Structure 1
Amino acid sequence: MHDLTGFQRDLIFTVAGLDEPHGLAIKNEVEDYYHKEINSGQLYPNLDSLVHKGLIKKGKKDERTNYYVLTQRGERELEDRVAWESQYIEL
């Protein structure tokens, strides 16, 4: 995860926290977090990059809608990131 942007890491956390979310659900969650509009030109290329890196998988819900889930590698990388962060903060 060291080579990802902060936005891409936020997308991974969002995908992990939702049940097979589609792009619009991810977009809404991230917009709520950032308190600003996220355009499709920012969202989908970043999701595609995460798919290309093998961190998330894209599947089809129907003819128009894709869903996203973490891959096993994505889960491992997310767990490693959380463990690394927890060294520095206590909640």
Structure 2
Amino acid sequence: MCDLTGFQRALLYVVAGLDDPHGLAIKDEFEGYHEKKIHHGRLYSNLDTLVEKGLIEKSQRDRRTNEYSTTRRGTREIEARTEWEAGYIDHDG
């Protein structure tokens, strides 16, 4: 996961966390958190990069909508990253 951009990492987390991860739902969730617009080109090119890296899978729901899901590798990468981050957080306050 260390070769991902921060944007790509965030997309991976959003795909993993949504009940119905399709392009516009991912875009809406991301924009809601970051409070700024994401251009479709940036969104879909980065989702394609995550597919190429084997972290998410893309399938076609209908002729206009793609669905995304986290692969086992993507889930393992998220878990490893979460564990690594937890090692740097002061849990005592």
Residue 60 of structure 1: how far off its partner (Å): 1.0
Give yes or no for the alignment of 1:7 onto 2:4. Answer: no
Q: Structure 1: any 5+ residue segments left out of the alignment?
A: none
Cα distance in 2, alignment partners of residues 18 and 63 from structure 1: 21
d(CA) in 1 for partners of 2:44 and 2:11? 10
How do residues 37-76 of structure 1 correspond to structure 2 at under 5 angstroms?
Answer: 37-76=37-76
The alignment yields a C-alpha RMSD, in angstroms, of 1.1
Offset of residue 28 of structure 1: 0.4
| Deviation for aligned residue 1:24 | 0.3
**SS of the residue aligned with 2:64?**
coil
Q: How far, CA to CA, are the matches of 2:66 and 2:56 in structure 1?
A: 12
Q: Distance in 2 between matches of 1:10 and 1:29?
A: 10
Bigger CA radius of gyration: 2
TM-score by length of 1: 0.96
5+ residue gaps, structure 2, are none
Cα offsets for 1:8-35 (capped at 9, x unmatched): 0000100010124110000001101111
* SS of equivalent residue, structure 2 residue 37: coil
Per the normalisation by structure 2, the TM-score is 0.94
What are the Cα deviations for residues 35-60 of structure 1, in whole angstroms up to 9, with x where unaligned?
Answer: 11001011000000000000000011
More divergent stretch after superposition (65-74 vs 13-22): 13-22
1:69 is matched by which residue type in structure 2?
A: S
